[in-house]
Copies of this chain bind each other. A is one copy, B any other.
């Protein structure tokens, strides 16, 4: 979406307090509106529908339409909306609703929507469309845009090219400020943004960028090359969108030019699209850290099959880890038979070390995404986590010691038939294991993501399973080796 669209989007009388209430009260407002809109559709009240729609923002209308399940109602609604409003609403719709409308509409009707839609939105929309409908849309796109849409569709997923738009204003280097402003007035209406203008030479090579405010503050006869910035940032069309986001965030840039290898201007990326990229990347990281494969779509729109497919791999990894823990437990069966109470503490020790490790893993992964930590900080991080683990481990082991001792003394945890060891010995055994495994957990938890990054693997995907498998094994081994050492079993 464009910065410029601000105007359209605020030209409807929804006041701020209203919007705000609806967010606070979890869209209760929306529910009322949906019933209201369905009622109007049911009564065929075209006039009422138009009045209502015009009192709302396009994105709010789109959210309502997304919730309508009947195809007939959606299509009826869409044919009723004033056409200058249609493209805006349409571009905010979910892919499945867009598809329904394109299917039901004539080529002529699709054309009306395409004419008003920004090119980057057309591209986003066509990308989601089944191939049998792509032709219908492309042939309904204005001829002059068609070539551009086709070209944009060819950029790889998640590249700068795939999120850029071609609707920007260019100036020629021989223009004076006055001429530049009058040129802007002529061509600026269709641009995604005019806050940044681009000065090209005759071969479309990007010479400099000019901020609108500098142009406004310039004298009328000043040459634009003397007020432009020549040390601008730009990215290649193949640059990963996440890297574009990082650059724009770091340098507080609101419009980023996209160029080819010869520095020829291809398009621009605006900050509002970057916010979506940031949120998507965050969702992706969160999903990976939770052991879930990221999904492209809204949760609600995703089928149980797709969701299950994203969750099974991580749970399967746990079966592998389970094989090792099973192996260890069965080989220590004799110790456990002599002192069955030892079994009672296995879950708490495995839980504590597993979570201590995943705490560190998640924190380090996040710090790496935010560039607060890089691989060359490894020793610094390890030293810090080591100290954190000493503090954490000591406090937990201490509390745990007294609690286990108390549980055994009072008989909350029953001691079985033969008590081969004193409560103090068992409490000490469990606490020392806990201390040691927390230290190991925190050191592994910071080492593995950094190692993964160093090996050019995805730290968010790789480190979790590795840490949990290694810790399960380490914890049980530590426990039983200490059992032998302390209790001689």
Q: A residues touching B (Cβ–Cβ < 8 Å)?
A: 1-7, 9-16, 19-20, 23-24, 26-28, 31, 57, 59, 181, 184-185, 188-189, 194-195, 209, 211-214, 216-217, 229-235, 239, 243, 246-247, 249-254, 271-272, 274-275, 278-279, 282-283, 285-287, 289-292, 298-300, 304-305, 307-308, 311-312, 314-316, 318-319, 321-323, 325-327, 329-331, 333, 336-337, 340-341, 343-352, 354-356, 358-359, 361-364, 366-367, 370-377, 380-381, 384, 387-388, 391-392, 395-396, 399-400, 403, 407, 412-416, 438, 468, 472, 476
Contacts and interface: CB of A to CB of B under 8 A. Distances in A.
A19 B233 contact: yes
Which 3 residue pairs are nearest across A and B when measured between Cβ atoms? Answer: A322-B348, A290-B362, A304-B387
How many subunits of this chain does the assembly comprise?
Answer: 2
A179 B285 CA distance: 50
Contacts of A59: 250-251
Given A26-B375, A27-B374, A189-B217, A235 B348 contact: no
Given A217-B189, A340-B333, A231 B319 contact: no
Given A11-B231, A299-B367, A391-B308, A216 B185 contact: yes
A305 B23 contact: no
- Identify which of A1, A28, A363, A387 gathers the most chain B CB atoms within 10 Å of its CB: A363
A315 B347 contact: no
B347 A235 contact: no
A307 B252 CA distance: 30
A251 B57 contact: yes
Given A290-B359, A322-B347, 18 more contacts: A6-B253, A10-B231, A12-B231, A23-B246, A27-B374, A286-B286, A286-B289, A286-B362, A287-B366, A304-B387, A304-B388, A308-B388, A311-B356, A316-B399, A318-B351, A319-B348, A326-B345, A336-B340
Contacts of A283: 366, 370
A341 B229 CA distance: 74
B272 A254 contact: yes
Contact of A311 (B4, B184, B285, B388): B388
9 contacts: A12-B231, A212-B216, A271-B271, A300-B380, A312-B392, A315-B352, A326-B345, A330-B415, A350-B351
A104 to B, nearest CB: 26
Contacts of A6: 211, 252-254
Given A326-B344, A336-B340, A391-B308, A356 B315 contact: yes
B323 A343 contact: no
Nearest to A215: B216
A51 to B, nearest CB: 15
B235 A20 contact: yes
Given A319-B403, A356-B311, A396-B312, A26 B374 contact: yes
Contact of A20 (B2, B243, B340, B374): B243
A258 to B, nearest CB: 11
A351 B354 CA distance: 10
B304 A3 contact: no
Contacts of A364: 299
Given A9-B252, A358-B290, A362-B287, A347 B348 contact: no
Contacts of A381: 299-300
Contacts of A28: 376
A15 B231 contact: yes
Given A251-B9, A366-B283, A413-B330, A396 B217 contact: no
